[in-house]
Chains A and B, each alone.
Chain A
Amino acid sequence: MVALALQDVGAAYGKRPIVSGITTELLQGGSLTALIGPNAAGKSTLFKRIAGLLSGPGTVHLTNATSGKDAIRYMPQDTGGNAVLTVYESVLLAAKQGSGWRVSDQELAGIDEILAALDIKALAFRELGELSGGQRQLVAIAQALVRKPEVLLMDEPTSALDLYRQIEVLAFMQRRARSAGMAVLIALHDLNHALRYCDHTIVVADGRMQASGPTAEVITPQMLREIYRVEARVERCSRGRPVLIVDSTAA
């Protein structure tokens, strides 16, 4: 199974360093890792660096990947774009990059499968421009998954989704990661989602790594006070799950 580890990774826009010194343990295929941190912490920048879209110091160790440099895929945060394309075409487009004009039945079957899995078959022949923000996000997930990445970096994939869809997508990604042996990193703002779905959590603030490890060990009152400037508790709910409760902003 594929595994990813970062060693002292950094990235810069031009000469301006944005993130530096990010080191993680081995992130195994089949696991979900949350990347959390305040706005402008450098989450998107770090993802682009891992995906090879930005250069920088440090090493991204990738082991047991079968598809070479195509193994890591970044799903951008920006869901903009106003192309005159149907949802179906836009997913086909993701699948067909770098290959010829002819589209096989098998390739189309792959698209049908992914749209069905994300429960957006009904949107298949709607134009991208007619979609809501949440619907666009689901299409973006389909575009990312259709290329069958081994490591998937999802940049705030649930930010525009309703509660039902947030849970559905995260649970789906968890199953998908397990069944495909895919390592999934998700930039998240909802820390309860991280607690519930993610095996690991990496915390960045001001472009530096603050913590990295099993989620329950990373999301602590002390971290929340220092990084997020809130007074908060992590308690067990009546079913024994860890739940984050915020009391106030820190003094």
Chain B
Amino acid sequence: MSILTSPATIHVGREHYRVLALRRIALLLLLAAALFASVCVDMALGPANYTIGEVLSALFQADQVSDQLRVVVWDIRMPIALMAVTVGASLSVAGAQMQTILANPLASPFTLGISAAASFGAALALVAGMAILPIAVNYMVPINAFAMAMAAALFIHFASTLRGVTVETIVLLGIALVFTFNALLALLQYLASEQALAAVVFWTMGSLTKATWPKVWITAAVLVATIPLFARQAWALTALRLGEDKAASFGVNVRSLRLRTMLTVSLLAAIPVSFVGTIGFVGLVGPHMARMLVGEDQRFFLPASVLCGALLLSVTSVVSKTILPGAILPIGVITALVGVPFFFVLIFGSRRRAW
């Protein structure tokens, strides 16, 4: 009987696993390198095109380049290029963990209504000049967007604390929120002046051009603060993907893990959408790319989600500058146009079938 396998052959699986892990680390490094390259290209492109060499000099030998080059790279283009990185990473990680805790491949900040809520909040400011929180009136638009996004996320969060509410219910609730906020937004647009309407449409398309260093720092800080929270729960979060019962049988407190993760994810998703508007695609597709590349062990899946989201949005930023010379197209629109073909290639070319 095969149960008596000789111990001499037993080590094979262990070595195979080590190779698998190394291959994943290599993939992560490759993604990181691609991201760095994409950010450099992003900073080279613009009304005045620079070479990658010039960008690198401005980055690493700032005192030896012309003032103009330094100002353009550091003060104008870098905030935008890094905003693409932090926003892409945040939305992708938020989507990854929403998909994980809700056991649903369609979960993302966009599909759960968080983006739609932010758009409505922004439109309230742009159309009606109405501040939800009476603070910092100069920043009424992002603050309104953030308040509504957080309200939507917290609504979802508290709904999930109710007894008998399943993950399917949560996803349905999210979709109901999308419809509600889209209807409210349409109502505002209908009532808006032509000028305000244009501003709302522009905002909801999502754009990185409003990026500033403080916004970059805030999104980066939230990202850096939340990732360790997920990292500490890496095994438990991965176990959740085997099903609730299985995770519980491993000793995971499923309910508490779900609620805490939901709360963290809310913040992670609400901040970037309130700064850059609706960029729906990254939060949905970033995690799927990561999953197809490295699987769902969160020790690899989490960094891969960060990198895939960041890379996706950074590449999109490059593309949005190159389609029409001299014009920067709204990134929210371009993300889907760039991401979809890439996504198709991954889906149909991949051996892995997630969901």
User: Chain A interface (Cβ within 8 Å of chain B)?
Assistant: 14, 51, 53, 70, 73-78, 80-86, 88-90, 92-94, 96-99, 101, 103, 105, 108-109, 111-113, 115-119, 121, 124-125, 127-129, 140, 143-144, 147, 168, 172, 175
Contacts and interface: CB of A to CB of B under 8 A. Distances in A.
A73 B297 CA distance: 23
Interface stretch (B11-19, B261-269, B322-330): B11-19
Given A86-B295, A99-B235, A117 B5 contact: yes
A109 B246 contact: no
Which among B16, B20, B234, B235 has the greatest number of chain A C-beta atoms within 10 A?
A: B235
A209 to B, nearest CB: 23
Q: Which size class do B's interface residues fall under?
A: 35 or more
A82 B21 CA distance: 21
Interface of B: 1-3, 5, 9-14, 16-18, 20-21, 163-164, 231, 234-236, 238-239, 241-243, 245-246, 248-252, 291-292, 295-297, 299, 352-355
B245 A88 contact: no
Given A76-B245, A115-B13, A83 B352 contact: no
8 contacts: A53-B248, A81-B243, A82-B355, A84-B291, A86-B295, A112-B10, A112-B12, A168-B3
A109 B10 contact: yes
B14 A85 contact: no
Nearest to A98: B251
B241 A81 contact: yes
A119 B245 CA distance: 25
Which among B2, B11, B13 has the greatest number of chain A C-beta atoms within 10 A?
A: B13
Contacts of A111: 13-14
B212 to A, nearest CB: 36
B1 A85 contact: no
Contact of B11 (A98, A103, A112): A112
Given A84-B295, A101-B299, A75 B20 contact: no
Contact of A80 (B2, B18, B235, B243): B243
Contacts of A93: 235, 238-239, 242, 250, 297
Which among A73, A101, A115 has the greatest number of chain B C-beta atoms within 10 A?
A: A101
Contacts of B245: 76-78
Contacts of B295: 84-86, 89
Contacts of B14: 105, 108-109, 111-112
A121 B246 contact: no
A247 B291 CA distance: 53
A116 B8 CA distance: 11
A76 B249 contact: yes
A75 B14 CA distance: 25
A101 B296 contact: no
B354 A51 contact: no
B3 A124 contact: no
B243 A97 contact: no
A109 B164 CA distance: 41
A82 B236 CA distance: 16
Contacts of B9: 116
Contacts of A70: 251
Contacts of A124: 13, 16
Which among A75, A84, A85, A113 has the greatest number of chain B C-beta atoms within 10 A?
A: A84
Give 6 closest A-B pairs by Cβ, nearest first: A83-B241, A76-B245, A108-B14, A81-B242, A81-B243, A119-B2
Contacts of B1: 168
Nearest to A139: B242
B302 to A, nearest CB: 11
Given A93-B239, A119-B5, 17 more contacts: A83-B242, A86-B20, A90-B242, A93-B242, A93-B250, A97-B252, A98-B251, A101-B299, A112-B10, A116-B5, A117-B3, A119-B3, A124-B13, A124-B16, A128-B242, A147-B250, A168-B1
